[in-house]
Structure 1
Amino acid sequence: MRLRLVPEETNLDFFRPMRFWLAVSIIGVIGTLILLPVRGLNFGVDFLGGSLILAEFPETHEIGDYRTLLNGLDLGAVAVTEASGGHGGQVVLMRIGSNGEADQSQVVATVRGALDAAYPGVQYLQVDSVGGKVSGELVQTGVIAVALAVVAIMFYIWLRFEWQFAVGAAISLIHDAIVTVGIFSLLQFEFNLQIVAAILTIIGYSINDTVVVFDRVRENLRKYKTKPLKDVMNLALNETLSRTVLTSGTTLIALVALLLLGGPVTWGFAFAVIFGVLSGTYSSIWVASAIVLRLGVKRDWSKPGGGAAGTKFANVDA
């Protein structure tokens, strides 16, 4: 007997509350754009600049012990991760954020002195300093990476489907990226390069779900040439609902485990992707599909013109 989280056949009207969910999305995006200049982001060491120290300790200790020691020095934001086991020891990567006043060479000297006193025999494999210019370039590179990902995906959808689908997919991806940044600004969780990687992961996950829905919409448009576009898209969403629930559910199980058991190193990444999976599943239905419904699509792919059929919001039940 196969596991079913939803009935084999459903007949839900996904577009009945469309006005409400579109309003929620618009409020979320506008709220983020207002929140960012006012509240800003809690940038981590990657974006603030600071010092990076890779050290090998002869004995293995809890990562929290190193973090507590460095926090006690009151030098700035601290991030500590275990790099590997080393050659019989423990290799730890420590990043100390710049507080805008301290000289980074002095910061490194203070950290090395504290580590030498607490952990005799420690060896320093790499010591680097990241200035404000480099950290600013990382912010710019992160924004460019997200923008290029959205443009490339939009181009791919345009080639595979039609421009209406490309517009819907692109807007839903931008929506997911913006609201994810917004939740980090609202809650003031640390925003670092891991979160940029999480946003790119969210974009990939979201477009995968959107393409599955769009592919079924295209099949149904060929099959039901006279059925209203709203009914065709509703049918496609109902037919892919079981797949969406199972895929999102299994993904969330793994992410929740990472969130609860991964520790502080992976906590931000796991939280961002969990929020993004929920946002991406939501936007595939009430952002991407709603925009395609509004713009209309051609009904017959066998003809060059195809005859686009649009459906206005005024004809959709609120």
Structure 2
Amino acid sequence: MQLFKSETHFNFMGRIKAAVIFSIVLILIGLGSIAVSGGLKFGIDFAGGTLIQLQFKNPPDIKVIRDGLKTIGLGESTIQEFGSKRDILIRVQRSEEKLEAVGSMVRRSLMGKFNVDEITVERVEMVGPKVGRDLREKALLSILYAIIGIVIYISWRFEVQYAIAAIIALIHDVLVTMGAFSIFDKEFTLVIVAAFLTIIGYSLNDTIVVFDRIRENLRRKGKSSMSEMINMSINQTLSRTLLTSGTTLLVVIALFFFGGEIIHDFSFALLVGVFIGTYSSIFIASVFLVYWDSRKTAHR
């Protein structure tokens, strides 16, 4: 299936400078947001704390819940709707108490404001600070191991410059997506780490398709320059790239809007990641290959 009836002839390489500037601006905005907000907003998985899910018979007033929680001294809390307006998710920083005790404390704190039979404690989850720190380290290691594996595979499958180009594109995708999470004040949890690994895999697949075509065209290079070869290769794979990304985005958009609160942040990460990954496989990865070739030519 082809999106375009004939091969396109877009001058992607002629827009490299604009693309690089655009990417740098995106990354700087994201990193600036992370710096201003004091780092990523880690969820309980990484930061430690206690999560309590309550279900009410009727949609409650969140302000009333917040006022009730102040009386039991659980520390700073975050209260939000979870799925429906009757389901409330409460996150608190403290994690010293037993699970049953926390649930009972929260329920008692709200008894004066709601009828007892109106409140059901659906679940209570707790992560200690040390466990959260360990999970954070393991999450970072999982991403690092994935990147190392990618470097080894692409260096073997192609050449080392292709591996470096792919890693630059992947780091670009991760930084932009992390920045988006900070800008939109979304929590960074283990689920989001899974989303990041998915983004890395998806973006890499797209990049390898372009790389494979570049290598194929280089074998019959003729008098064309590296920049021209890359431009031709991107145009030749453009239909496939846009079709794959477009159909994936349709699914992710559906998940984002209709998938519910549980996977909302996960689908948001994929939405940003798939879009940016498609962009980086066309522009960012190719920039390094052009740079590598120019340096190689200059040293001849």
Q: TM-score, normalised by structure 2?
A: 0.80
Distance in 2 of aligned mates of 1:14 and 1:205: 21
Candidates 133, 145, 149, aligned match of 1:136: 133
AA partner of residue 21 (structure 1): A
Given that 1:255 and 1:274 are in contact with CA atoms closer than 8 Å, whether structure 2 keeps it comes out as: yes
Matched with 1:301 is none
RMSD: 3.4
1:39-83 deviations in Å (ceiling 9; x for gaps) = 12222222232235699xxxxx8999699799555462358879x
Other-structure match for 1:108: 103
Match of 2:34 in 1: 36
Residue 5 of structure 1 and its aligned partner are, at CA, apart by 3.4
Q: Normalized against structure 1, the TM-score is what?
A: 0.76
Kindly state the Cα deviation for residue 145 of structure 1 after the two structures are TM-superposed.
1.5
Q: Is the 8 A contact 2:214 2:233 kept in 1?
A: yes
Determine the structure 2 residue equivalent to 1:227: 224
Number of residues paired by the alignment? Answer: 282
**Partner residue in 1 for 2:93:** 99
Whole-Å Cα distance in 1 between the matches of residues 64 and 139 of structure 2? 28
- Deviation of 1:32 (Å): 3.2
Q: How much has 1:98 moved relative to structure 2?
A: 2.7
Residues in 2 aligned to 1:245 and 1:173: alpha-carbon distance in whole angstroms = 18
Q: Could you tell me which of 165, 178, 186 is aligned with 1:168?
A: 165
**Match of 2:273?**
276
Unaligned runs of 5+ in 2: none
Q: CA separation in 1, counterparts of 2:194 and 2:105?
A: 32
CA contact (8 A) 2:192 2:265 kept: yes
Residues in 1 aligned to 2:227 and 2:57: alpha-carbon distance in whole angstroms: 54
| Structure 1 residue 178, shift from structure 2 partner | 0.9
Q: Give the aligned partner of residue 77 of structure 1.
A: 78
Amino acid at match of 2:184: L
Which of 14, 19, 22 lines up with 1:21 in the alignment? 19
1:44 aligned partner, one-letter code: G
Structure that is richer in helix per residue: 2
Task: Give percent identity, aligned residues only.
Answer: 38
Deviates more, 1:183-192 or 1:266-275: 183-192
Deviations 1:100-130 (A, max 9, x none): 5x7533423224656993369x798x86531
Contact residue 202 and residue 274 of structure 2 kept, 8 A: yes
